[in-house]
């Protein structure tokens, strides 16, 4: 399977009727990476392990001196990451206009990237996002939090390759983490294929579900035969319409939630695997979910700082918080991961973007266009250099997540309060003045 994440960008794509970039078939990748990247096409991985077998194993923990330097990318306790930061600083081109980004500290500890004029091989498109524009009250300020998925909201790649367990220098069972990652890999693929048409449409990745909505004629799909409608090359208008039908159903299932989609056995496996993973990662998943919930559902303005709507005479808060997801994985597995890791009630499917084809900078620009004319503040959160560069181009604060035990920004630990601090560095202290409850 090779449709689960990253491929070289800019080599393929056509324009839809609305001017959006739509990808054609992507070239196969010759190596097997992880669920968040692109394994080669072929049989599903088969792992002779189960949630129960992992949970019952005694962890094989090696005790070592506390000053031992681990053989992981996190390095030792002293001077962790200094060499990597210096190398990154030399690699990224400096720009004379870096001064226009007022506070480099807002990039977060461990991110020392400068402005990159070329943005690597990111391909940009001068078209507007076709998703619905945000509904904005003229006097309401909106805080937009743009999250990365892998190694930020969830841990998966670092479980599969052992770097997460290895960063604890012997206090975690690395093999147990790898087996947990393999179970997620299998489970995600199974849900993608069985319920979200992934085997049919993995060659037709789009940056967001509404990218081909112009081709959807609104047909009643209750009796539609998705398995015999002939979706295939060439990627012409007729086949784009068939893809749009599938995207419509995927959006409906996402809004519905997995508990109304999966059978009882799959739900039990899902719950057991989630709890096992959350325990192994010291509450990373549940803590990330709590932070998203605080952002979305927390009391955002106190009553005496809310205005009155002239039509209804009800108090209207002066600010609103919204979560977005921009991930380098392909779209359908990313939506499924949102569901499986229980973020669906906190990030709507309209706010999930795949940067696989277009790059994160383009996704950031699309998101900004949705709030044109509104009083908006943005904050990007992730673990990678691409989102760091893109945030700096947009002049947004960026918070770098680091899964190492001594990392400054990680789960548990990263909160809405910390994110607001970085927003205030860039935008000033208007958040506190407007009455956010943090």
What are the residue boundaries of the structural domains of the chain, listed by start? 14-50+93-433
50 confidence band (pLDDT: 50, 70, 90): confident
**Residue (of 434, 403, 324) closest to 156 by Cα position:** 403
Give the end-to-end CA distance of the chain in Å, rounded to a whole number. Answer: 43
Residue for token pair 């306790």: 77
Using CA atoms, how far apart are residues 105 and 324, in angstroms rounded to an integer? Answer: 23
- Cα three-residue angle 153-285-418, rounded to 5 degrees: 60
pLDDT at 316: 52
Residue 335 has pLDDT above 90, yes or no: yes
Characterise 359 by phi-psi region: left (phi > 0), alpha (psi -120 to 50), beta (else): left
Binding-site residues for Mg(2+), in ranges, read: 148, 150, 383
Per-residue buried b or exposed e for 352-370, using 16+ beta carbons within 10 Å of the residue's own CB: bbbbbbbbbbbbbbbbbeb
CA distances from 138 to 371, 372, 432 (A): 11, 11, 19
**Whole-number pLDDT of residue 246:** 99
pLDDT greater than 60 at residue 18: no
Q: Say whether pLDDT at 298 is over 50.
A: yes
Confirm if 296 and 323 have CB atoms less than 8 A apart.
yes
pLDDT at 318: 65
Q: CB atoms < 10 A from the CB of 373, how many?
A: 8
Residue 46's pLDDT is what? Answer: 52
Answer whether residue 15 shows pLDDT above 90: no
Tokens linked to 8? 């070289």
Residue-by-residue DSSP string for 333-376: HHHHHHHHTT-TTTS-GGGEEE-TTT-HHHHHHHHHHHTTTSEE
DSSP code for 105: G
Residue, of 342 and 109, whose pLDDT is higher: 342
φ/ψ of residue 315, rounded to 5: -70, 135
The structure's pTM equals: 0.74
* Across 130-134, 206-210, 230-234, least confident range: 130-134
Measured in residues, the chain has a length of 438
Angle between helices 416-427 and 284-297 (to 10 degrees): 60
Summarize pLDDT for 347-395 with one digit per residue, the tens.
Answer: 999 999 999 999 999 999 999 999 988 899 999 999 999 999 999 999 9
283: left (phi over 0), alpha (psi -120 to 50) or beta: left
Least confident of 64-73, 174-183, 424-433: 64-73
Measured distance CA(252)–CA(348) in Å, rounded: 11
pLDDT single digits (tens) 198-225: 999 999 999 999 999 999 999 999 999 9
Q: Which residues are catalytic?
A: 148, 150
The dihedral through the CA atoms of 398, 77, 71, 171 has a sign that is: negative
Distance CA 282, CA 51 (A): 17
Q: What token pair was written down for 174?
A: 């690395």
Range picked from 6-10, 75-79, 170-174 for highest mean pLDDT: 170-174
Query: Tell me, what's the pLDDT at 55?
Result: 74
Question: Which CATH number describes the domain made up of 14-50+93-433?
Answer: 3.40.50.12350
Confidence label for 235 from pLDDT (cuts 50, 70 and 90): very high
Q: In this structure, what are the phi and psi dihedrals at residue 187, rounded to the nearest 5 degrees?
A: -65, -40
Q: What does the block give as tokens for 111?
A: 């991110």
- Name, of 18-22, 51-55, 146-150, the range with top average pLDDT: 146-150
- Which residues belong to the annotated binding site? 148, 150, 383
Return the percentage of the chain with pLDDT > 90, whole number: 59
pLDDT tens per residue across span 65-77: 333 323 333 443 3
CA gap 253, 334 in Å, rounded: 14
Tokens of 356: 């696989």
């Amino acid at each position: 399977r090779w449709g689960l994440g990253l491929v070289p960008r800019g080599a393929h794509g056509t324009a839809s009727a609305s001017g959006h970039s739509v990808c054609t078939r992507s070239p196969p990748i010759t190596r097997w990476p992880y669920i968040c990247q692109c394994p080669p096409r072929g049989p599903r991985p088969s792992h002779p392990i189960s949630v129960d077998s992992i949970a019952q194993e005694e962890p094989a923990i090696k005790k070592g001196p506390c000053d031992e330097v681990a053989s992981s990318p996190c390095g030792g306790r002293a001077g962790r990451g200094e060499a990597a930061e210096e190398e990154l600083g030399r690699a990224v081109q400096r720009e004379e206009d870096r001064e226009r980004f007022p506070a480099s500290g807002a990039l977060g500890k461990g991110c020392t990237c400068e402005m990159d004029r070329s943005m690597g091989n990111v391909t940009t498109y001068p078209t507007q996002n076709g998703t619905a524009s945000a509904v904005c009250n003229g006097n309401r300020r909106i805080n937009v939090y743009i999250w990365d998925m892998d190694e930020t909201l969830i841990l998966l790649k670092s479980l599969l390759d052992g770097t997460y367990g290895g960063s604890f220098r012997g206090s975690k069972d690395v093999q147990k983490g790898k087996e947990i990652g393999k179970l997620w890999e299998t489970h995600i693929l199974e849900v993608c294929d069985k319920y979200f048409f992934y085997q049919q449409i993995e060659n037709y990745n789009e940056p967001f579900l509404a990218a081909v909505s112009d081709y959807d004629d609104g047909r009643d799909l209750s009796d539609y035969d998705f398995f015999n409608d002939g979706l295939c090359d060439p990627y012409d208008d007729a086949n784009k319409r068939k893809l749009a039908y599938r995207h419509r159903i995927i959006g409906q299932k996402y809004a519905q939630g997995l508990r109304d989609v999966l059978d009882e056995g799959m739900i039990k496996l899902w719950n057991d695997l989630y709890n096992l993973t959350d325990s192994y990662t010291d509450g990373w998943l549940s803590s990330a979910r709590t932070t998203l919930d605080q952002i979305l559902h927390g009391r955002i303005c106190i009553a005496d700082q809310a205005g009155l709507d002239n039509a209804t005479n009800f108090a209207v808060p002066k600010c609103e918080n919204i979560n977005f997801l921009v991930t380098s994985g392909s779209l359908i597995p990313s939506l499924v991961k949102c569901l499986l890791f229980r973020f669906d009630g906190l990030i709507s499917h309209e706010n999930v973007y795949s940067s696989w084809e277009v790059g994160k900078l383009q996704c950031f620009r699309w998101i900004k266009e949705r709030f044109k004319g509104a009083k908006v503040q943005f904050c990007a959160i992730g673990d990678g250099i691409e989102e760091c560069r893109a945030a700096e181009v947009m002049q947004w604060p960026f918070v770098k997540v680091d899964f190492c035990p001594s990392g400054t920004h990680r789960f548990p630990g990263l909160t809405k309060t910390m994110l607001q601090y970085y927003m205030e560095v860039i935008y000033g202290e208007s958040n506190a003045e407007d009455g956010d409850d943090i």
